[in-house]
């Protein structure tokens, strides 16, 4: 009979800089169950809506996460704008879309690098992060910040991009697409990568839906669902199809993310071609009264922003459900049956962002 | 066992890895080379003290409360350790006497406020 034991994993672990703790129930070396616990870095950001007025809160919403910062700012602003019935200029929606898509490229390249690092493929890791630097430089040039952009505001955006900047983004994207080629080939076709990832941590289509997986995790299991198809911001005008994997294993999740980078390049190019002229923000009068439930697609999956205003400048409630929160139950499910040695890599494949999960 | 896909390649990254060996470094060797900052960079807040009218709008717009404006004493002060470089004060200032400048501030051993004298003209 196999011997049962419980091995604690985390909150500090070399492969994950983020504090998530799991109690792994093992039978010999095989995981038969996992009990997750979070709550090591709770910051109480949601509570701050009671202290900072709804316009100032944009800067706090952006600081929920260091990687999807622009998306959190945008999700919050869009929900408040909808509560207040503000229609923002089209140009602002396009600018938001471009920045959010650039964030997706940045996030996915970062994740691919981390995955390569977790597999022990150091040169691939360096290459991903070298490429990611180019997109960070474009952020720096267009918004003034490499990580936190502070460009979103209720009623539009704060900074415009002139023709030269848009051209520079286009050139960077074209150049990056060429340089991405060897990275894509390696992740998708390399023998050793396939040997490591294929058949590992399979999450079936049914389980993915049942456990409420979101983002690349859901699409990797073959579910064609992408919140961008709802057409918020400028996505309604852009041509896109969700990228779907088939096998539901670690390889499928990696492939979905790698191919989403190319999809984002195409979306950025299309948005640059179609961007209309005009103002970038509208004046905001009054205070929010009412509630709204906004969904957007972050690099890690669907995020939900719930806003409830009471007619004063302080909101009653702001609730943010981040993609990692929804991806923890499917992660626990997919860990069952894997080997202890594969656990760090599998946790990485959900692209965990624990600090946004706990906010 | 699952089938192996036909387009599996061995050593797919070898060419790029070799190329990288002979490329010049992607990083800037700071401090031997100067760091370059883009024009829009939000490095730190700068005040043109002569133009400030002490209206206090920057103080009210600042989310972490880093700015303090005291009209009585004629002092505009900023706690640089609290400032998160969000540019909210710059957008709020009616006199456009605040701006975000490139470059970071120096590290310090004490959390001191940086003080500027404002409203000197009116006093005379
Ligand atoms: S940049 Fe932001 S945090 Fe810094 S002083 Fe201005 S408003 Fe305050
Ligand atoms: S810096 Fe600008 S906003 Fe602040 S007190 Fe002076 S004039 Fe007013």
Which tens digits make up the pLDDT trace of A98-143? Answer: 999 999 999 999 989 988 888 888 888 888 898 898 898 888 888 8
Cis peptide before A11 (omega within 30 of 0): yes
Ligand 2 closest atom vs CA B96: 2
Distance of CA A91 to the CA centre of its chain: 23
Tell how far the Cα of A326 is from the centroid of ligand 1, in angstroms: 34
Q: How confident is the model at residue A9 (pLDDT cuts 50, 70, 90)?
A: confident
Residues A23 and A8: their CA atoms lie apart, in Å, by: 5
* pLDDT (tens digit per residue) in A284-315: 888 888 888 888 888 888 889 898 888 888 88
Checking ipTM against 0.85, whether it exceeds it is: no
The rounded percent of chain A whose pLDDT value lies above 90 is: 5
Give B98's contacts (C-beta < 8 A, 6+ positions apart).
B45, B46, B47, B48, B58, B89, B90
Cα of B78 to ligand 1 centre, how many Å?
9
Residue B4 pLDDT greater than 70, yes or no: no
- Is there a domain that residue B14 lies in? no
Whether B87 maps to a domain, the answer reads yes
Contact A302, A326 (CB under 8 A): yes
Nearest to A19 by CA among A10, A9, A27, A30: A10
pLDDT at res. B122: 53
Counting the structural domains of chain B, the total is 1
Q: How confident is the model at residue B1 (pLDDT cuts 50, 70, 90)?
A: very low
Helical (H) or strand (E) element with A265:
helix A250-274
pLDDT at A222: 85
Lining residues, ligand 2, CB within 6 Å:
B 47, 52-58, 69, 92-93, 95, 97-98
Q: Report pLDDT for B124.
A: 43
Distance from CA of A186 to the nearest CA of B (A): 5
pLDDT per residue as tens digits for the range B21-61: 888 888 888 888 888 888 888 888 888 888 888 888 888 88
Cα(A142) to centroid of ligand 2, in Å? 26
| Token couple for B119 | 């409203």
Return the CATH number at B66: 3.30.70.3270
Query: Which residue has the least CA distance to atom 1 on ligand 2?
Result: B52
DSSP output for B78-104? E-TTT-----HHHHH-TT--EEEESSP
CB contact under 8 A, A158 and B87: yes
Of the CATH numbers 1.20.1560.10, 1.10.1530.10, 1.10.3080.10, 1.10.645.10, which one belongs to the domain with range A52-281+292-357?
1.10.645.10
Q: What is the mean pLDDT of residues A262-280?
A: 89
Instruction: Please judge whether A189 and B17 are an interchain contact, meaning their C-beta atoms are less than 8 angstroms apart.
Output: no
Supply the pLDDT for residue A348: 83
**Torsion angle in degrees (nearest 10) through CA of A347, A115, A106, A37:** 20
Residue A320 has pLDDT above 80, yes or no: yes
- Among the bound ligands, the one closest to the CA of B45: 1
Mean pLDDT of chain B: 81
**Residue written as token pair 């900023």:** B78
Nearest CA to ligand 1 atom 5: B83
Domain extent for B47: 37-117
Query: Mean pLDDT in chain A?
Result: 86
């Amino acid at each position: 009979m196999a011997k049962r034991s419980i091995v604690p994993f985390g909150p500090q672990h070399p492969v994950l800089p983020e504090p998530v703790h799991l109690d792994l129930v093992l039978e010999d070396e095989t995981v038969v169950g996992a009990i997750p616990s979070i709550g090591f870095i709770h910051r109480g950001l949601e509570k701050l809506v009671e202290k900072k007025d709804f316009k100032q809160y944009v800067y706090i919403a952006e600081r929920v996460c260091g990687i999807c910062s622009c998306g959190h700012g945008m999700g919050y602003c869009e929900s408040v704008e909808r509560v207040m019935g503000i229609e923002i200029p089209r140009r602002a929606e396009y600018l938001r879309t471009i920045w959010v898509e650039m964030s997706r490229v940045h996030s996915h390249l970062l994740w691919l690098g981390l995955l390569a690092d977790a597999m022990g493929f150091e040169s691939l890791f360096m290459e991903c992060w070298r490429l990611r630097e180019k997109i960070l430089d474009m952020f720096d040039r267009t918004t003034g910040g490499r990580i936190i952009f502070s460009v979103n505001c209720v009623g539009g955006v704060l900074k415009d991009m002139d023709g030269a900047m848009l051209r520079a983004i286009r050139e960077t994207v074209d150049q990056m697409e060429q340089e991405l080629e060897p990275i894509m080939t390696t992740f998708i076709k390399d023998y050793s990568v396939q040997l490591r990832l294929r058949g590992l941590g399979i999450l079936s289509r049914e389980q993915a839906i049942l456990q409420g997986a979101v983002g690349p995790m859901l699409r990797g299991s073959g579910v064609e669902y992408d919140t961008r198809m709802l057409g918020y911001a400028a996505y309604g005008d852009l041509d896109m199809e969700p990228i779907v994997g088939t096998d539901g294993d670690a390889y499928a999740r990696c492939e979905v993310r790698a191919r989403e980078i190319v999809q984002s390049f195409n979306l950025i190019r299309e948005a640059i071609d179609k961007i209309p002229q005009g103002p970038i923000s509208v004046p905001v009068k009054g205070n929010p009264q009412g509630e709204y439930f906004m969904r957007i697609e972050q690099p890690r999956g669907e995020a939900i922003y719930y806003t409830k205003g009471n007619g004063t400048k302080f909101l009653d409630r702001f609730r943010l459900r981040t993609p990692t929160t929804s991806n923890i139950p499917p992660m626990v499910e997919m860990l069952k049956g894997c080997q202890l040695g594969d656990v760090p890599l599998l946790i990485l494949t959900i692209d965990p962002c624990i600090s946004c999960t706990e906010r | 066992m699952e089938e192996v896909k036909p387009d599996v390649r061995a050593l797919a990254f070898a060419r790029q890895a070799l190329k990288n060996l002979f490329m010049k470094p992607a990083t800037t060797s700071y401090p031997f080379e100067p760091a370059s900052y883009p024009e829009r960079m939000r490095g730190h807040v700068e005040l043109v003290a002569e133009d400030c009218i002490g209206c206090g709008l920057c103080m009210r717009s600042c989310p972490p409360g880093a700015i303090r404006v005291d009209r009585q004493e004629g002092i505009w002060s900023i706690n640089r350790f609290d400032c998160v470089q969000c540019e909210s004060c710059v957008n709020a200032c009616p006199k456009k006497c605040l701006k975000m400048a490139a470059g970071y501030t120096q590290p310090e051993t004490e959390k001191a406020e940086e003080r500027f004298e404002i409203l000197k003209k009116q006093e005379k």
